[in-house]
Amino acid sequence: MPHSSPGYLTKQECIPVLGVDDLLIRSLLDKNQFHDPQDKALNLGISAATWPLFGLLWPSGARMAERMALRPVTGERILEIGCGLALSSLVAHRRGAHVTASDCHPLAHAFLNHNTQLNGLTPITYNHGLWGTAAKREDGQPVLTQAEDADVNGVFDLIVGSDILYERDDEGTLASFIDAHAALTSEIWVVDPNRGNRSAFHKHMARAGFAMYEQVLDHAAHDDIAAYKGRMLTYTRNV
């Protein structure tokens, strides 16, 4: 049943993740939601068209969550970038991993807090994370990067992101952001649904000293699972 929140509609679903218990997730009802009365999203370069994307569950996020469910829990520091509804962070957190979720959307933290509570979990550390042209405003005004949440800081042993290669990035701002927050010895996971910007990202990551391994994740539709096309990109660096 749809739930009403100020300015937008949400829904609550039981989401299965292979290898772990199901999660209760509150998400936006559909792609037609928008509510930015104080221009918080606009000031971060988030247009009306892209505003709802953070609050939807995406197939690539499910693929990443499945891999996170298999990751041995150690004392490593994990950062999820462009987390959206942070399915991977929720999986890791419930398993006892030390994880920080991050996004640039002004509502991502509130949705994360709600979903942790829905699942009876303690709060997940959340930071504001923004890079490159994601911060360009449509009206030509300067981008305001100040946010209510602290910016991502420190370095991490594992950085993960699903469907984050959605825009052209000739200057390598995403790779630079990752490099700034990756430990000298670190691993990076990116699930890419063949957006077309993978080759350039490979080159920028190589310049930052990362070796890359690609795994094809394509599968046909079966049972209640939709078909998927994409790749798991694993980058490693050992300095």
Alpha-carbon gap, residue 211 to 237, rounded angstroms = 6
Can you say whether residue 120 is alpha, beta or left, with left for phi > 0 and alpha for psi between -120 and 50 degrees? left
> For residue 23, what pLDDT is reported?
98
> For residue 43, what pLDDT is reported?
84
Alpha-carbon gap, residue 137 to 20, rounded angstroms = 40
Going from the N-terminus, what domains does the chain have, and what CATH number goes with each? 3-238 (3.40.50.150)
> For residue 119, what pLDDT is reported?
98
- According to DSSP, the residues that pair with 237 across neighbouring strands are 186
Residues of the chain with pLDDT under 50: 134-135, 137, 142
Edge-to-edge strand list for the sheet holding 3-5: 3-5, 8-17, 20-28
Alpha-carbon gap, residue 128 to 151, rounded angstroms = 5
Structure letter (DSSP) for residue 221: -
Scored b (16 or more CB within 10 A) or e, 137-149 reads beeeeeeeeebee
Whether pTM exceeds 0.95: no
> For residue 4, what pLDDT is reported?
67
